[in-house]
Structure 1
Amino acid sequence: MRVEARLKKDKKTKKLAKRIEHGEIAVINHIDIDEVAAKSLVEAKIRLVINATESISGRYPNIGPTILVSNNILIVDNVGMDVFDKLNEDDFIAVEDGRIFRDGELIGSGEVMDKFVVNEKIKKAYENIEVELDRFIDNTIEYAKKEKGMILGDLEIPKMKTKYDGKHVLVVVRGHNYKDDLQAMISYIEEVKPILVGVDGGADALLEFGYKPDVIVGDMDSVSDDALKSANEIVVHAYTDGRAPGLKRVEELGLEAVVFSAPGTSEDIAMLAAYEYNAKLIVALGTHSNMIDFLEKGRKGMASTFLVRLKIGSRLIDARGVSILYQSRLKIKYIFALIITALFPILIVASLSPKVQTLIQLLQIKLRLLMKM
């Protein structure tokens, strides 16, 4: 295996995916590559991934590497940060059997991960899942005790100009199968006209489908400037001590924002705000709801999500996987029936024509002659 191409590098894969071009090599520092990151690289049509760290650490069975190798994108794994630092943006490099060359000089090497290697590592990761689950449960319970105030009235919900009262709210998160699920929800969006809330990159997902987000909620680290400028309202997720790093970016764009200080994830506060402002129904799309989801986000527990869903559950519909649940298929028999139905009036009208009647009679005579032969 030999690949020669220009490289792009970034410690954050989601940022790299926005600027890497077709046929280039992605140089990343991403332990346990997650599904969303992998899909973004596949969509960019890259040639190869060079990872400074372990793409599969073995803590849990992360799906990202499987997605990459299934799309014929090999991974040169765990090359080390020294190699990452030596490589520069837009360097033209050659990679052969895990060895990385620049101008003929060997820069470093790593393990080549193909389908076989990835499958073996994933199998081993499954063997460790019970240990990781035990830790995850303990962490969730511990932090749920500390953060229970967020659903018991201790959390101050900021004033917002968006009117949620009595309306449906669609909260879009850039999570598992979010594009397919959003595609499946188009009829709902068109008919019900829900308030559209994009959580960070979820706002860009809405834009891709031609919808302007009414509200953007997040720490503003993965949402585009275009999305921010298109939103009617921006809510910056701040730490519990009030620090809001994302606010600076919003202000630099000349935009205003509401600051929401809260523990947990941005999708949690997006749903909690909709609930507290009396939304009739909250539809969550692409949200994170299981251990693998949270481990892929670098979180060791899901206390805030557990608490928020405990509170808003009566008004929450999780649309994750809706594209799998309902996949429209127009069966052949229905197509045939439609064709017959469409042709029927044409045949009736045609049969009234003298010329057509003569043609039919000639065909009948021809058929009789053929049958006698």
Structure 2
Amino acid sequence: MKFAVRSRPAPTLPGVHGPARIHRRTATLLGRLHAGDVAVLDHVDLDRETAQALVDAGVVAVVNAGPLISGRYPNLGPELLVQAGVVVVDQAGAEVFERLRDGTDVRVDAGIVHAGDTLVATARELTPDLVRSEMAAARSGLAAQLESFTHNSTEFLRREQDLLLHGHGVPETATSMAGRPVVVAVRSHGWEAELRGIRPFVREQRPVLVGVDKGADALAASGHRPDVVVVTATSDDLPSAAVLRKARDVVVLVECGAPRNVTEQLERMGIRPLRFETTATTEDAALLLAAAHEPALIVGVGMHATLDEFLDRRRSGLASTFLTRLKVGPDLVDAAAIPRLYDGAVRPRHLVGALVAGVLAVAAAVSVTPVGQQWVDDATPVVSRTTSDLIDNVRGILP
């Protein structure tokens, strides 16, 4: 007689599991990620914007071939990943790209990367304490970076002086911005909360909405239609074709003297983009575009300008951001400040004022009618007698 034997489930191995998504170019990899993936990349000094894109994609782990924090400056990406609960390992070595195939199921545990029973790489796991220590060390070496920044700013000003000082080269959009508030949206850290915070402002003030790269998709996902979309001709991170087609203006950044066919990708979608020749970043070009059309106000969504955030940006774009902020400074307001200054709420004094104005308007309208005239004539003797009696009473009281 045979007895049924209950099979025991295989023991669950420690660590996180997921299919590996591999590419040396981070921008290309971001477009292929799905929830539960393990991102394998080679990105030195991971910035916060890229880290936020990895978190938004839902990756469970990040394996980096080189160091995520080189120590040259305090980049904010690793800290964001660790805080979001993503397992992060770096210094896995360039061999990880040869030993792994895209889609292979991998396991990451305590800095060790496995593919099945095969040891792929021994790396360093970034813990919160280690990230804080590395960031503190990086901040101590900022002098050299600031010196380089000064040189880059001078070079950028030399190249773009006509644009920065006189607004030359800015395309003329079909969307009118003169005298109107303009909202420039970038899909970056904290953009969702900022868009929610300015809903009353957008609803009542009807500003011009400018989407920068994927910021146009962010506006559309929040129920808004971007009026202007600003993209880079060579970008792998274009907004969706539907959003681009609905926009009234699509402005594409190209290098000075770039050939006409550089915008061919957009033209194949049935879009006739406006060329904007500049070496500024897409975000900064959108601000300069808005400022050149003399808006009443520019509200920046997803833009941050603390010292750490400036240093965390791409090194090539740091001078562009700094000088652009100086150019548009008097007109630029961070979206995080809008709910503190403007909430669109109706207060009691507004209701009282409206009620008094309404009563006065009705009284004035009635007083010019025959019925109103009769009321005034009937009320005049009564008011006169009441006033006379009141005066006599006061005289009787006084000695």
TM-score, length-normalised on structure 2?
0.73
Alignment-mate amino acid for residue 74 of structure 1: V
Q: How far does residue 81 in structure 1 lie from its aligned partner after superposition?
A: 2.7
Judge which range, 264-273 or 189-198, deviates more: 264-273
SS at match of 2:160: helix
Partner of 1:233: 249
d(CA) in 1 for partners of 2:179 and 2:130?
52
Number of matched pairs: 327
Partner of 2:16: 3
Pairwise CA RMSD: 2.7
Q: Is the 8 A contact 1:238 1:245 kept in 2?
A: no
Partner of 1:252: 268
Partner of 2:337: 322
CA deviation vs aligned residue, 1:188-221 (integer Å, no higher than 9, x gap):
1111111100111211221121111111112143
Alignment-mate amino acid for residue 266 of structure 1: T
Alignment-mate amino acid for residue 277 of structure 1: H
Q: How far does residue 31 in structure 1 lie from its aligned partner after superposition?
A: 1.6
d(CA) in 2 for partners of 1:22 and 1:57?
28
Q: Is the 8 A contact 1:38 1:65 kept in 2?
A: yes
Of 74, 83, 91, which aligns to 1:61?
A: 74
SS at match of 1:39: helix
Q: Is the 8 A contact 1:76 1:98 kept in 2?
A: yes
Q: How far does residue 133 in structure 1 lie from its aligned partner after superposition?
A: 2.1
Of 26, 29, 32, which aligns to 2:39?
A: 26
Residue 217 and residue 34 in structure 1: after superposition, are their counterparts in 2 closer, same or farther (change >3 A)?
Answer: same
Partner of 2:128: 115
What are the equivalent positions in structure 2 for 1:214-363 lying under 5 Å apart?
214-219=227-232, 220-225=235-240, 226-243=242-259, 247-287=263-303, 289=305, 292-300=308-316, 302-314=318-330, 316-322=331-337
Asked if 1:36 is matched to 2:52, the reply is: no
Residue 296 and residue 194 in structure 1: after superposition, are their counterparts in 2 closer, same or farther (change >3 A)?
Answer: same
Q: How far does residue 52 in structure 1 lie from its aligned partner after superposition?
A: 1.7
Q: Is the 8 A contact 1:133 1:291 kept in 2?
A: no
Residue 182 and residue 26 in structure 1: after superposition, are their counterparts in 2 closer, same or farther (change >3 A)?
Answer: same
Judge which range, 41-50 or 293-302, deviates more: 293-302
SS at match of 2:102: coil
Residue 246 and residue 114 in structure 1: after superposition, are their counterparts in 2 closer, same or farther (change >3 A)?
Answer: farther
Judge which range, 4-13 or 67-76, deviates more: 4-13
Asked if 1:89 is matched to 2:105, the reply is: no
Structure 1 runs not aligned, ≥5 long: 329-373
Partner of 1:340: none
Residue 325 and residue 146 in structure 1: after superposition, are their counterparts in 2 closer, same or farther (change >3 A)?
Answer: same
Judge which range, 183-192 or 78-87, deviates more: 78-87
Judge which range, 103-112 or 204-213, deviates more: 103-112
Q: Is the 8 A contact 2:197 2:339 kept in 1?
A: no
SS at match of 2:151: helix
Judge which range, 294-303 or 112-121, deviates more: 294-303
SS at match of 2:59: coil
What are the equivalent positions in structure 2 for 1:129-144 lying under 5 Å apart?
129-144=142-157
Residue 96 and residue 246 in structure 1: after superposition, are their counterparts in 2 closer, same or farther (change >3 A)?
Answer: farther
Partner of 2:348: none
d(CA) in 2 for partners of 1:31 and 1:70?
19
Q: How far does residue 29 in structure 1 lie from its aligned partner after superposition?
A: 1.9
Q: How far does residue 105 in structure 1 lie from its aligned partner after superposition?
A: 2.3
Give 1 or 2 for the bigger CA radius of gyration.
2
Residue 245 and residue 13 in structure 1: after superposition, are their counterparts in 2 closer, same or farther (change >3 A)?
Answer: farther
d(CA) in 2 for partners of 1:75 and 1:323?
35
User: Identity of counterpart residues, as a percentage?
Assistant: 31
d(CA) in 2 for partners of 1:326 and 1:114?
39
d(CA) in 1 for partners of 2:49 and 2:260?
25
TM-score, length-normalised on structure 1?
0.78
Alignment-mate amino acid for residue 236 of structure 2: D
Q: How far does residue 281 in structure 1 lie from its aligned partner after superposition?
A: 2.1
Q: How far does residue 223 in structure 1 lie from its aligned partner after superposition?
A: 2.9
Asked if 1:197 is matched to 2:213, the reply is: no
CA deviation vs aligned residue, 1:37-83 (integer Å, no higher than 9, x gap):
22232233322110122111111112211121122222120223331
Structure 2 runs not aligned, ≥5 long: 1-13, 344-399
